[in-house]
Amino acid sequence: MSWYHYLLPYDFSPLTLIAFVVVLTMYLQGLYALPAEERPGALRVFTFLLGLLLCYTVMHTRFDYYSQYMFFIHRGQHLVLHHLGPLLLVLSNPLPIMRFWARQIPGWLGPVLWPVKMAYRVLQQPLIAATLFVGLIYLWLTPELHFDAMLSRPLYWLMNWSMLLDGLLFWWLILDPRSPHTERVLGYGKRIILLVLIIPPQSALGAWILFSDSMVYDVYEVCGRAWPLAPETDQMLGGILTWIPPAMMSGIAILIVVGRMMRDDRNSAKTQQADEAGEVHA
Amino acid sequence: MTGIIRALSVMALMLALAGCGGSGVEWHAKNIRGLMPDLEFTLTAPDGEPFTAEDRAGQVRLLFFGFTNCPDICPATMARLQNAVKQMPQDMRDEVTLLFVSVDPERDTPERVGEYVDFFGDNIVGLTSDEETLRTLAKRYRTTFGYGKPDENGDYDVSHSNAVYVFDGQGRARLLIRSDQSISQISEDLETLVRQGRD
């Protein structure tokens, strides 16, 4: 197999290709159209592109082949789609680009988009969002459904896309770049509570997979593995990937939120001081 | 987003189909109705002629992958399936065909596959093709195969799926037989399928 075969999709999905091309084009176009002072800096652009590239790679290259025929690589794929990729995309703060495109929406589209907005509001209720985030991991790892998802092409794509979209929703809620002091977004304390809440159920699932005596996910036996790795080893690695990295991601996200909280406090303290100083002078 | 909508509608359709086809049959094998695409292939028969899914249309077909140098899984599977067919009522046995697809075209010529399956019975068709065609077929049924490193004699192992895909007379994917199913369980499932085809 030549090197470029590794870049080609194993299972070509036109809709996936279109979705990524559209997002990339809209991002670059928005970037180009924005005035220089609103335009995200090089590091932010890089973070966005890296997140996008990671998600595309695990979904639509040879990586996907290994994800379909090796349990632990499948867990790695979902780690990128549900955690790492969306986290990077959100951290890059694409808000200026999103605002640019929001301004392009013609007025008559407003009522059409209303149900989408409402659905978004419901899904972003903190408890719903956290339940959905953990629930989707559990759902697709239900042995029966996991078996079906690995056999059925439409279900497989639904699984991967639902993980990516839910990842974006959840990490946007947690790492929304807007400050709760000035805008109606989730408070920092609540963000941290959610990040802590999602750790135990994910760890429990990972530990359950890791310490299972029998094969929980036998579809990889039925369909054959990408290379002859002992099934126990495959399951063990998969369990570790379900357990440890998501907990670490929560930890990292908590540090980021705490950092922002402190910066916000300093900023508001400064403005307060400046206000007081202003009053004295006046 | 469009991908999701499409996938959701497919899932809704699948649920609807499952609702209609709820005949209440309890299968021993895994029910894969609606999960996998219909039987469709063009491979090479032992006489060197092309062989397609149409060639045995109307029959319940059992598709599985293997290779003739296979030390254990393939002969064991073949024997189990043959015994299961033998346990069926006499007049039903002719309505079942086994399709053995060798995924080792390097060593397995169509004739060789033919000789191999003849050893197990006369309701088995031995098929193979070039690697690319075989990969496409394997991918269609979401399985894979791979080759191990050759030893000093040039012998190598071939990893392949141990599942048997069952299609009904109309070529619809129906069941997935796993390796832990007993012969009488397989036989009962096949009997039910043949009976359903007659209704």
Q: Residue B156 maps to which CATH number?
A: 3.40.30.10
Give tens-digit pLDDT for B27-57: 999 999 999 999 999 999 999 999 999 999 9
Least confident of A6-15, A107-116, B136-145: A107-116
Total domains in chain B come to: 1
- Which neighbouring-strand residues pair with B63? B99, B165
Domain that holds residue A49: 3-281
Is B90 within a domain?
A: yes
| ipTM for the assembly | 0.77
Please give the pLDDT value at position B21.
Answer: 46
Please give the pLDDT value at position A107.
Answer: 82
Indicate the residue of A152, A161, A224 with minimum beta-carbon distance to B144.
A224
Q: What Cα–Cα distance (Å) separates residue B40 from each residue in A108, A208, A223, B55? A: 47, 40, 18, 11
Domain that holds residue B129: 25-198
Q: A264 pLDDT exceeds 80? A: yes
Is B134 within a domain?
A: yes
Q: Is B153 on the interface with A (CB under 8 A)?
A: no
Q: What's the gap between Cα A228 and its chain centre?
A: 31
DSSP B94: G
Q: A82 pLDDT exceeds 70? A: yes
Is B155 within a domain?
A: yes
Least confident of A74-88, A157-171, A176-190, B143-157: B143-157
Please give the pLDDT value at position B20.
Answer: 47
Chain A residues touching B178 at Cβ < 8 A: 218, 222
Neighbours of A262 (CB within 10 A): 11
Total domains in chain A come to: 1
Is B120 within a domain?
A: yes
Please give the pLDDT value at position B121.
Answer: 86
For residue A184, give the amino acid letter. R
Quickly state the pLDDT bin for A275 (edges 50, 70, 90). Answer: confident
Chain B residues touching A154 at Cβ < 8 A: 6-7, 10-11, 14
Is B12 within a domain?
A: no
Q: Is A153 on the interface with B (CB under 8 A)?
A: yes
Is B3 within a domain?
A: no
Is B17 within a domain?
A: no
Report the C-alpha gap between A124 and A164 in whole angstroms.
Answer: 15
Higher pLDDT, B18 or A152: A152
Chain A residues touching B146 at Cβ < 8 A: 224, 226-228
Is B7 within a domain?
A: no
Give tens-digit pLDDT for B137-185: 999 999 988 888 888 988 888 878 888 999 999 999 999 998 888 999 9
A227 and B159 within 8 Å at the Cβ level: the answer is yes
